[in-house]
Amino acid sequence: MTTSAYRYMARAFQETLGEEGSDRRHERLLTWRREHTVTRLAHPTRLDRARALGFRAKGGYVVVRVRVRRGGQRKRAIIAGRRPKHKGILRMTLAKSLQRIAEERAAKHYPNLEVLNSYWVGEDGKQKFFEIILVDPVHPEIVTDPQISWIAAPNQKGRAYRGLTSAGRAGRGLRWKGTGAERFRPSRAANRRPTRRTQMKVIP
């Protein structure tokens, strides 16, 4: 069985994550830190991963790299004396993943594009880097392509903000099925809303 070119690309990227590729990895991260928070790229860093998530090298597709600070929320310490566990400044972790935050920042930077998907490309002690695949829903090559034209539908607007991407669905618990996941569909907010029966007034 022959090995595809994308398999070699994936293997080459994995080699940069080990001890032998530490020099190349540090040089790459050093360059990325000096760039803007949202940087547009000429081509994906991980072409195999981008292709698997829907990227195509044609008009209407845009790839950007987004830098996100690692860790939880930064809360200012209060002046009044309290135990650290009662100050409310430690372990303030967001329910939203850093990958979802990166997708929302890319969508905010390019309001005329829609987020198709994203993937991890690197991290250091302070920051994480993700590459976001954006699609122009009104581009002629996108509208006429039956494989991606669905993104031009009105119900796909603001996909990153509504948790419709792969990372968004994972954060909403939609990767789970069966026992224990009954209250995740259609959404957790919908399951918290009172039903019609509970809203009805009982007349004695």
Summarised one tens digit per residue, pLDDT across range 58-67 is 999 999 999 9
Write down the pLDDT at residue 78. 80
Give the architecture (CATH level 2) of 36-199.
3-Layer(aba) Sandwich (3.40)
Cis omega (within 30 of 0) for bond into 194: no
> Quick one: average pLDDT of 101-109?
96
**At residue 200, does pLDDT exceed 70?**
no
What is the full DSSP assignment across 91-156? S---SS-HHHHHHHHHHHH-TTSEEEEEEEEEE-SSEEEEEEEEE-TT-HHHHT-TTTGGGGSGGG
Write down the pLDDT at residue 33. 94
Q: Classify 4 as helix, strand or coil.
A: coil
pLDDT tens string 162-199: 999 999 999 999 988 888 888 888 888 888 888 766 55
Write down the pLDDT at residue 60. 94
pLDDT tens string 24-48: 889 999 999 999 999 999 999 999 9
Q: How confident is the model at residue 89 (pLDDT cuts 50, 70, 90)?
A: confident
Write down the pLDDT at residue 191. 87
Mean pLDDT of the chain: 89
Write down the pLDDT at residue 2. 77
Write down the pLDDT at residue 197. 62
Starting at the edge strand found earlier in the chain, the sheet holding 127-135 runs: 38-41, 61-69, 127-135, 114-123
pLDDT tens string 115-154: 999 999 999 989 999 999 999 999 999 999 999 999 999 9
Write down the pLDDT at residue 198. 57
Q: Where along the chain do its domains lie? A: 36-199
